[in-house]
Amino acid sequence: MKFISAYLALYLLLIAPHLHAQVKHVSRHSSSGSSLARGKVVYTKICLSCHMANGGGVPMMNPPLINTSYVLGDKTKLIKIVLNGFNEDVEINGQTYSNAMTPHNDLKDQQIADVLTYVRKSFGNKASSVTAAEVKKVRATNIAK
């Protein structure tokens, strides 16, 4: 019994404080970081189930996010799709996609900017970033169809 008590005391004195410091270090960095890293988190939680981990979508249901004019083109249009959802058939590379996308206007401007930046710079895409200021401006003038 004395051995277990001594071992526990040694653990609490020598090891536990370092673990606590490591946990604080990880949590501090997880809330900050790059727009791409934050965008990946939003994508994984919200977008991945429909657009898949590789951005390839689901045939005839959810469109791919790879090298399409929707993703690489007009940022305002893309931001409005996130804010308002999308409920139209769309043809991409000769295939029609028809599954409705729900609006995600509950996301903060920075979250939308981060996830759209992630999509526009991932899956082989090479487009400019989206800023929170751009999202804020579109949201302020946004009128759903």
Check pLDDT > 90 for residue 70: yes
DSSP run (H or E) holding 97: strand 95-97
Phi, psi (degrees; rounded to nearest 5) at 58 = -125, 120
pTM summary value: 0.76
Rounded distance, CA 118 to CA 40, Å? 6
pLDDT in tens, 81-128: 999 999 999 999 899 999 999 999 999 999 999 999 999 999 999 999
